[in-house]
A and B are shown apart, each in its own frame.
Chain A
Amino acid sequence: MDLEYTPRQQAFRAEVRAWLEANVPREPLGSFDTAEGARQHRAWEKRLDAAGYAMVPWPVEYGGRGADLLEWLIFEEEYYRAGAPRRINQNGIFLLGPTIMEYGTPSQKARFLPKIASSEEVWAQGWSEPNAGSDMAAIATTALRDGDHYVIRGQKTWASRGAFADWLFGLFRTDPASERHHGLSFVLVPLNIPGVTVRPIAQLDGETGFAEVFFDDARVPVANRLGDEGAGWSVAMSTAGFERGLMLRSPARFQDTARRLVELYRANAADAEERVRDEVIRCVVAAEAYTLETYRTVSRMLAGGKIGAEASLNKIFWSELDIRMHELALELLGDRADLLPEAPAAEGVGDWLDAYLFSLSGPIYAGTNEIQRNIIAERILGLPR
């Protein structure tokens, strides 16, 4: 047990901090789920990539800088500390990238990873279908072999970032006679080819963060398949593990929210109930617990361990903490809690309301928390199915 950063880690932190202080945009960017915001975010990602900071744990040849996972945690801490923009290509950098690293052929890695790092290609996720939500093995969209191509027919839905993305990754049924999680393949699909129609869906917050994607005999090269044909389920599970587990929601995000919540409490302390004050403190403790558990997990992974079902513990913890913090923020805002930013009396409300709405999606996306609880019960605790 050694809870001190090495001189190398400290130097890395200092370097990242200096770069971010000099480069983070002074004005917040627009939402990446709007056309103008997406353009601004792509420009920011290009700058990050040019400096080698787009995805520090990736190998240098793919646009990273060969950092280890601990340095990645440090990078994230500095990134949130600096108030840098959210990542438009989080599907690509946090989820697909590591999956390509594990399952991709050398030519797939060379083709896709650098453009993920630079966000020249922004990715959407294609898991859910109208009849395959929590029950993802019910996927029915087919990708049938025709020579060197798959011909895709069917529909994906709730494709995050779908409205402004260039590509989509997801699971398709390559063996039409197969059932459940057999006969599925993990395929990378450009969204600008004939036979693909993207229909943005307005979300609870009014923006078009996700989309429906219709496939009408869209033809995709077989070379776009990641992993073996029919083995897509296990490839997808590795992506899901990254998503719920480590990458998607680094602890810095929640530590930053907790810190801002304490500031909000200070600004509104005169009107705050003791119960709210104490809950704010407990949220700081919970964010700290999440950080400590992540350092423990990363230490284990650096020593050769893997993330398995325990990713489900993570997902429940951060998603519920996020809601709790945002609910408290609204309590502290009191009469101003439901004001939109353009309301004349909205001074000091920040983006808590929007972020509250987004926090409510946490227990739904990346596998509902009910599914995560089943996984914990069956695969960690060993309860019967």
Chain B
Amino acid sequence: MTFLPYAVAAWLFVVGLYGIVTSRHLVHLAVCLTVVQSSTYLILLSTGYVRHGSAPIYADIPPVATAVDPVVQALTLTDIVVESTITALLLALAVQAMKRFGSVDPTFLRQLRG
């Protein structure tokens, strides 16, 4: 059972990649990328988890209480912020692709047009 979170993370990564490869819609593609990225949250949070540890917030737990690693949690926050901005950027590009080429199907966007 101690491997389950990692297995889920690996699965999310590969399933997200499958979605990206087979995607027929740029918005769908951006959503698939968020699935890939969510696997990194899972890996980060899983590596920092301490058995029976509480959240690293000492507002209402004794100072000596066992808590999980705050560093990976901070990194996960960074990860989420970056993901949301990248998703927004990709969606903006999808809007522009629709305007320029009249299609959001990646297979129709093979040729570069200046």
A, B bound = no
Residues of B in contact with A (beta carbons under 8 Å apart): none
Residues of A in contact with B (beta carbons under 8 Å apart): none
